[in-house]
Structure 1
Amino acid sequence: MAGLAESGSNPDVDLLYDINGLAKDAPHWFDRVMEFVGEYGLLLAMVLLVLWCWWSVRRRGGQDAASSVAALVWAPLAAGIAVLVNVPIRGFVQRPRPFNDHQGLDVLVSGKNDFSFVSDHATLTMAMGVALFVANRRFGLVGIALALLEGFCRVYMGVHYPTDVIGGFALGTAVALLLSPLATALLTPLAKAVERSKAGWLIVSGRGTADGQEALIPGARSEQEAGAEERDLAA
């Protein structure tokens, strides 16, 4: 793998210099923004996106609420598993960071002394994005777009080769998709049990009783009661 890091006609290195070269021409404040976004900002955005999707599913409710929430729980779990899978991969490949083998790179983040292939950030964000897509396509497309932006940022910052990012995308996607059926089978019964418990509000808005029934506001009537009253008046 180290051979890929050698300069010349290698498109991986050429693309690295092309993308990282944008940092040299950009204003200092923009580089600082990209540094924060690429290191922390997009990870936080992914977490907030999953929470937003959970809130939307919870408010919508329905019979499939438990399975939908279970699929959302899989998103952060998939990211964690994918990063763990990457640990032996990094140790086996042992690819140095690009700034260790190439001169003239504008490195925006210091202290990166671990191996480069594959990118943890790209792996984590793509795993969450793909798992979120399985649960909800609309939110998932946004998550995948954030993951792609994360990959660009890692190369822009000079801490990863493009192939590090592509490898992270592939690893995150594989873990999220291949283990999704097993995760759904294990998490859905757990989500249904939570729905029937006093913590049912985590699954459906308004659920909080032990029998899993919707908690109505005092003095409010259910739709069934209102419908029955209208039929009585019509009769």
Structure 2
Amino acid sequence: MTVYAPPAPADALSLASGDNIDLDVLHGVNGLADDTTWAHGFMEFLGEYGLLAVLAVLLGIAWFRARRRPDHDVAVAGIVWAPIAALIAELVNMPLREFVDRPRPFVVHPEVHVLVEGKDDPSFASDHALLTMSLAVALLLVDRRLGAIAALVAVLQGFARLYVGVHYPTDVLGGFALGALIALALSPIALRALLPVVRGVERTPLRPLVVARPAAS
């Protein structure tokens, strides 16, 4: 005997596709804002600018350390690659965001608590996530300790974007993946291109930018 099974409702299909899981995670993190009003200003600052500033400081420390290494030219070239990788990732994401054209979560789900106003561009992939992860991965290739700290900063950046209600978790994960891919995949080509430039700078009065040791007399 054949038993008729009615079509799955839209909600079930949505859950099967992972959409509800995405939303559940967003609600879980964004819901923390309801009980932590004292942290709103701090999280807004971190999510928009603060963590990017922390990464800039880490890059500065990494550059200072790189100049003292035996392979200082390679290390400094790696540091230079980090912001270039972030810029390339951002340029790649521009047409991707327009193609996917995913609305911000608060547009579709008005119950989301939005702490950062004025976000009307597409949601996928998160610019902040890809910028921080591309910087972190590029830094990890040069300095493992500082790179690991930078990766934690990038994860915190993703958390902050959910907390302030401007991205879905998959927006953040997509940004992480894109930023990491570009920083890793293009690194060999970038270093081959940057090494001659760095070595050329070392032979000029700007030598202290590349190496901390004085020139041999």
Give the 3-state SS of the residue equivalent to 1:104 in structure 2: coil
Gaps of 5+ in 1: 208-212, 216-235
Greater radius of gyration (CA): 1
Could you tell me which residue of structure 1 aligns to residue 185 of structure 2? 178
2:24 counterpart of 1:45: no
Cα offset for 1:182?
0.3
Could you tell me which residue of structure 1 aligns to residue 161 of structure 2? 154
Q: In 2, distance between residues paired with 1:184 and 1:36?
A: 34
| Change over 3 Å in CA distance of 1:40–1:7 after alignment to 2 | farther
Give, as a single letter, the amino acid of the residue that structure 2 aligns with 1:184. Answer: L
TM-score normalised to structure 1 length: 0.83
8 Å contact kept, 1:7–1:13: no
Q: In 1, distance between residues paired with 2:194 and 2:175?
A: 25
Could you tell me which residue of structure 1 aligns to residue 6 of structure 2? none
Give the number of aligned pairs: 204
CA displacement 1:100-142 (0-9 Å, x = unmatched): 0002211110000100000000000000000000111111101
2:32 counterpart of 1:25: no
CA displacement 1:169-201 (0-9 Å, x = unmatched): 000000000000000000011111111211100
8 Å contact kept, 1:71–1:184: yes
Instruction: Report 1:74-223 matches (<5 A).
Output: 74-207=81-214, 213-214=215-216
Q: In 2, distance between residues paired with 1:180 and 1:110?
A: 36
Cα offset for 1:206?
4.3
Give the 3-state SS of the residue equivalent to 1:112 in structure 2: coil
Over the aligned positions, Cα root-mean-square deviation in angstroms equals 1.8
Runs of 4+ off more than 4 Å = 6-9
Give, as a single letter, the amino acid of the residue that structure 1 aligns with 2:34. Answer: K
Gaps of 5+ in 2: 1-9
Cα offset for 1:73?
0.4
Cα offset for 1:214?
4.7
Higher relative contact order, chain-length normalized (CA < 8 Å, sep 6+): 2
More off after superposition, 174-183 vs 101-110: 101-110
